[in-house]
Structure 1
Amino acid sequence: MEFIKYIVNLGPSVMLPIVIFIISLIIGQKPGKAFRSGVTIGIGFIGIGLVIGLMLNNLGPAAEAMSKNLGVRLSIIDVGWPGDSPMVWAGPIAMTAIPIAIAVNVIMLVFGLTRVVNVDIWNIWHMAFTGTILYIATNNIWIAWVGVIIHAAISYKFGDWYAPIVNDFFGLEGIAIPHGTSAYCAPLAVPVEIVIDKIPGLNKININPKYIEKRFGVFGEPMIIGLILGILIGVLAGYDFKGIAQLGMNMAAVMILMPQVVKLIMQGLMPVSEAARDFLQNRFKEKEFYIGLDPALLLGNSEVVAASLLFVPLTLLLAMVVPGNQVLPFGDLATIGFFVAIAVGIHRGNLFRTLISGSLIMVINIWIANETVPLLTQLAKMVNMLPKGATHVAALDQGGSPLTYLLLQIFDFKNMGNLIALILIGGYYILGIYMSAKYLKNKSYVKNENIG
């Protein structure tokens, strides 16, 4: 267990190249080629980290200033995935969750229950979060492990169902995104897509970067959209001219730089992906396999980044209207694109539909995040990571997950909370999962030309 903990603590930019290198050797790649692929992928993830850091360092303070400027008075801070993932890794079941999640993947592959080969060990923290919260709620390690198993199995199925979108719309051939916020939020967008398709007039509205560029010329280009949205956020934050201009330019840079670092990852990944598919298809005839990777890859899409910027002020406004909400969105605001990334693909880049489904996604995540505050606070105290001066903590990413929420209700009856909300959210989420399994496999997704 100490060895696994050591590898995890290396971080994704070091851990993933090691995993890729080992897998490449197993599937028969030459050591030199395998080493080059691993290093290239690692550099790409460092690049993504730098660009996300650019977003965090600029949007974080802007979001805080905006909440004050808009008069948002909420008492519990969202620490986001940068805050709750270290808590999970330091928690009581994290190191056992990794071999359990890997075993679930292997068993599902052997029995043909998934086509996803997950190499993103870091994001197993989402599955470990579910197990940890169940352990804190029930004090039963077996229930915690069952929670990890169920979350892992559902995540790999998410990878299967949304792979056509990841491959065709996002242009990430041979890749699946089975975990993270992007995957567990995606079912919430599917019913919205189906309903809008059936509403005359509404189903004709299609706002996307191509439409904006055609209508507004240079002002529709991704970097100019980033500039404008950055300026808008700066204005709402009450910044002076210098602050507004700097935020605008930084967001324009994000729109251009993110697709470039994603390209670098794909450059390193493609030889490994092709070799892995050949290796598996030689053993499992007539089956197509996908390499499971981090949802950060989806931020290489200009519509996702645009939606991410739009949802910074919108999420703050939604937090003001969610009944009983005490959570101030903060830690996850800079990477809010993760929540709506696959939804963008489901809606084929239509930002009008993404705004509708994304608003629903954020309202549900905010509401659930309130329900998990006591358990997350208990975890923070357990691992000595409660922020100085705070009495409670919340997290939208995973702390607001409908999947974790439903499993918590199933295994811990005293946590039933608001029964009406549980029925509504649970019923809608199960409907979304059902529709994802049945609806998406029969749809065709046009390759997005805005990937860069």
Structure 2
Amino acid sequence: MLIWKKTNTLDVDIFDVWHLAFVGLFAIWSGANLLIATALVVFIGILKIINSDLMKPTFNDLLDAPENNPMTTTHMNYMMNPIIMVFDKIFDKIFPWLDKYDFDAAKLNNKVGFWGSKFAIGIYLGIFVGLLAGQNPTEIFELAFTAAVSLELFSLIGQWFIDSIEPLSQGITDFASKRLKGRTLNIGLDWPFLAGRAEIWAAANILAPIMLLEAVILPGNYLLPLGGIIAMGITPALLVVTRGRIIRMIIIGAIELPVFLWAGTLAAPFVTNMAKNIGAFPEGVASNQLISQTTMEGPMEKFLGYLVGNASQGEIEFIIYAVLALIAYLLIFMWYRREMNKRNAAYTAAEKSES
């Protein structure tokens, strides 16, 4: 796509390749052959890269960065953008008055302080799970402390990994720039370059108890959130589409979290089987227990992998579902692309009027 000038983004975030790999492997596990699974991965991968170009001006706006800022991302988180934008447009038409009640996310985070931190959320979650399991006070304390430390280290260790592959990413960037004769490229990074925006964490703090409640009462869900309760699979996308309007982020996030829970439930047999095959199944967990993730990036793509895999077995019902799902997925993305192009044109017009 770079050679044919279909994108200006060079994806150097090697870490996020696993999201597409998961979709392909899940499709194969569901019945697809390698060729069909690869075609699905390429299809989604192309849309991811197109999306990175579409989001670039919004990133500049959110970061208050100049036009020549090279940072964008191809992360799977942002493939929720089209669905989020559907609800955002509904807000524009029906509930625009809610925006006047919006509030400063940074001030909210400061007021909540420790009691809204990832560590505190881990404590609450550990106590809740321990009580559900009928554990004694000592066991509940151990579980709460373990959950708190795990959540606190979750993003920190991820950042260590990102930092460790930075020299490789920079080497790829330098090589590509040289080969493309000095052409200016956007650099596709991991999503956390937006992590400094307080709206992400304010929304995550409020969505955490909402997700826990939804997990308990949601029909068809068999997952109880742990690490995924910080909702990193959806909050960055909410920030980009709503451009930081926190009330919209919370309401739309609460509406869409069930999609993540259902996708995690659907993928649980595959995740459990894979964990056992590679020796990563958690110690102390019953062998018949299923494991998965509650806000795994790309829930819609997990459903596509499942449908395409089953359709590959020749079942007419799944073939129809898979075709309709792929068409709907593409059409919604095309509509989203048109809306983002309108937004980007408005950014360009504003810049010209200022200059």
- Residue 174, structure 1, aligned to residue 70, structure 2: yes
Residue 428 of structure 1 deviates from its aligned partner by 6.9
Q: 1:408 to 1:279 in 2, by over 3 A?
A: same
SS in 2 for 1:328: coil
Q: 1:427 to 1:322 in 2, by over 3 A?
A: farther
User: Is contact 2:12–2:172 with CA below 8 Å preserved after alignment?
Assistant: no
Q: 1:167 to 1:430 in 2, by over 3 A?
A: same
CA distance in 1, matches of 2:114, 2:316: 45
Residue 397 of structure 1 deviates from its aligned partner by 4.4
Q: So what's the TM-score if we normalise by structure 2? A: 0.71
Q: How does 1:31-430 map to 2 (within 5 A)?
A: 108-138=1-31, 140-171=33-64, 173-180=69-76, 182-199=77-94, 201-202=96-97, 204-209=99-104, 220=107, 222-230=109-117, 233=121, 284=183, 289-334=185-230, 336-388=231-283, 389-391=286-288, 392-398=290-296, 401-413=299-311, 429-430=329-330
How much is the aligned-residue C-alpha RMSD, in angstroms? 4.2
CA distance in 2, matches of 1:144, 1:424: 17
Partner of residue 437 from structure 1, selected from 337, 340, 343 = 337
Q: 1:302 to 1:401 in 2, by over 3 A?
A: same
Q: Deviations over 1:372-392 (max 9, x none)?
A: 222222222332322232421
Structure 2 spans left out of the alignment, 5+ residues:
129-136, 348-355
SS in 1 for 2:274: helix
Q: 1:424 to 1:369 in 2, by over 3 A?
A: farther
CA distance in 2, matches of 1:423, 1:320: 32
Structure 1 spans left out of the alignment, 5+ residues:
1-107, 214-219, 447-452
User: Is contact 1:364–1:425 with CA below 8 Å preserved after alignment?
Assistant: no
SS in 1 for 2:220: coil
User: Is contact 2:74–2:188 with CA below 8 Å preserved after alignment?
Assistant: yes
User: Is contact 2:261–2:294 with CA below 8 Å preserved after alignment?
Assistant: yes
Task: Give 2:350's aligned residue.
Answer: none
Q: 1:279 to 1:305 in 2, by over 3 A?
A: farther
State how many pairs are aligned: 310
Equivalent AA in structure 2 for residue 353 of structure 1: R
Residue 442 of structure 1 deviates from its aligned partner by 1.6
SS in 2 for 1:291: strand
Q: So what's the TM-score if we normalise by structure 1? A: 0.57
Equivalent AA in structure 1 for residue 339 of structure 2: Y
CA distance in 2, matches of 1:313, 1:419: 38
Residue 125 of structure 1 deviates from its aligned partner by 0.8
Q: 1:273 to 1:379 in 2, by over 3 A?
A: closer
Q: 1:177 to 1:208 in 2, by over 3 A?
A: farther
CA distance in 1, matches of 2:337, 2:71: 18
Q: 1:276 to 1:170 in 2, by over 3 A?
A: farther
